[in-house]
Amino acid sequence: MRPITSTLAFADALRTVIDAARPIERTESLPLLDADGRVVARDVRASGDVPPFDRAAMDGYAVIAAETTGASASAPRSLRCVDRVFSGHLPARGLAAGECMEIATGAPMPTGADAVVMVEETARVGDAVRFLSGVTPRQNVGRRAADLAAGATVVSAGQVLTPSRIGALAATGVTRVEVFARPTVALLSTGDEIVQPGTPLAPGQIYDINRFTLETIVARHGGHAIAMPTVGDTIDALVERIDQARQEDLVVFSGGSSVGDRDLILDVIARRGELVFRGVAVKPGKPTIFARLGQTSFFGMPGYPASCLSNAYMLVVPFLRKMARLPAWEPHTIDLPLARRVVSAAGRHQFYTVRVENGRAEPAFKASGDITSMANADGFIEIPAAVDIVEAGTVVTVKLF
User: Which residues within the stretch 369-398 sit at the binding site for a copy of itself (CB under 8 A)?
Assistant: 369-372, 374-375, 377
What does the alpha-carbon distance between residue 359 and residue 137 come to, in Å, rounded to a whole number? 59
Q: If we measure between CA atoms, which residue out of 318, 308, 303 comes closest to residue 256?
A: 303
State yes or no: residue 166 binds a copy of itself (CB under 8 A).
Answer: yes
State yes or no: residue 335 binds a copy of itself (CB under 8 A).
Answer: no
State yes or no: residue 229 binds a copy of itself (CB under 8 A).
Answer: no
Comparing CB distances to a copy of itself, the nearer of 3 and 70 is 3
Q: If we measure between CA atoms, which residue out of 295, 312, 313, 317 comes closest to residue 223?
A: 317
**Shortest reach from residue 401's CB to a copy of itself, in Å:** 5
Q: Using CB under 8 A as the criterion, what x/- string covers residues 31-60 for binding a copy of itself? A: -xx--x-----------x-xxxx-x-x-x-
Please give the residues from 119 up to 138 whose contact with a copy of itself meets the rule CB under 8 A.
119-120
Instruction: Say if CB 93 and CB 83 are below 8 A apart.
Output: yes
State yes or no: residue 359 binds a copy of itself (CB under 8 A).
Answer: no
- Per CB under 8 A, the list member of 128, 170, 346, 389 interacting with a copy of itself is 170
Please give the residues from 288 up to 307 whose contact with a copy of itself meets the rule CB under 8 A.
303-305
- Per CB under 8 A, the list member of 9, 18, 30, 104 interacting with a copy of itself is 104
State yes or no: residue 1 binds a copy of itself (CB under 8 A).
Answer: yes
Comparing CB distances to a copy of itself, the nearer of 183 and 305 is 305
* Angle subtended at Cα 255 by Cα 249 and Cα 257, rounded to the nearest 5 degrees: 165
Judged on CB neighbours under 10 Å (0-12, 13-18, 19+), 197 is: exposed
Residue 317 parent element (H or E): helix 317-323
Task: Give CA separation, 390 vs 135, 191, 349, 368, 382, in Å.
Answer: 68, 36, 13, 20, 11
State yes or no: residue 232 binds a copy of itself (CB under 8 A).
Answer: no
- Per CB under 8 A, the list member of 151, 260, 384, 393 interacting with a copy of itself is 260
Comparing CB distances to a copy of itself, the nearer of 144 and 360 is 144
* Beta-sheet pairing, 342-343 with 99-103: unpaired
Please give the residues from 180 up to 219 whose contact with a copy of itself meets the rule CB under 8 A.
191-194, 197-198, 201-217, 219
State yes or no: residue 139 binds a copy of itself (CB under 8 A).
Answer: no
DSSP-assigned letters across all residues of 171-238: HTT--EEEEEPPPEEEEEE--TTEE-TTSPPPTT-EE--HHHHHHHHHHHTT-EEEEPPP--SSHHHH
Comparing CB distances to a copy of itself, the nearer of 180 and 304 is 304
Sheet with 60-63: list strands edge to edge.
Answer: 115-118, 60-63, 99-103, 77-85, 128-131, 122-125
State yes or no: residue 172 binds a copy of itself (CB under 8 A).
Answer: yes
**Shortest reach from residue 384's CB to a copy of itself, in Å:** 23
